[in-house]
Amino acid sequence: MSELEALRFAKIDTEARNDNQALQLLDYKMAAVRQRAEQELSQLAMQKRQLQAAIDARKPAYEQLVRELAAKYGIDDPTKMTIDPETCVIRDLSKT
């Protein structure tokens, strides 16, 4: 092999090695991003389950209170009742 051929080979070989290392580095970075995304998704899913559990736990008491208020204020169908949270005015929507 001539000196020129050896230099050309060395140049191309070095470039190929550099490109392969860069490619490997990108693979590692992509794997790290995937792992962080999976962790964040897992945390968000856990928060969502916790919130849903809190909603589910509160729902029976809420529904009981709505039924009691409907009965107290003579509203036949609690699903047709609305309460303004700012003014605390109860309205019977079945009569509108």
What six digits make up the tokens of 67?
């039924």
Cα 59 from Cα 51, distance rounded (Å): 12
What six digits make up the tokens of 74?
């003579």
pLDDT tens-digit series, residues 42-85? 999 999 999 999 999 999 999 999 999 999 999 989 988 898 88
What six digits make up the tokens of 16?
């190929």
pTM (predicted TM-score): 0.61
Three-class DSSP category at 4: helix
Backbone angles phi, psi at 86, to 5 degrees: -85, -40
**Residue 96 pLDDT more than 80?**
no
* Portion of the chain with pLDDT greater than 70, in percent: 99
Cα 64 from Cα 78, distance rounded (Å): 10
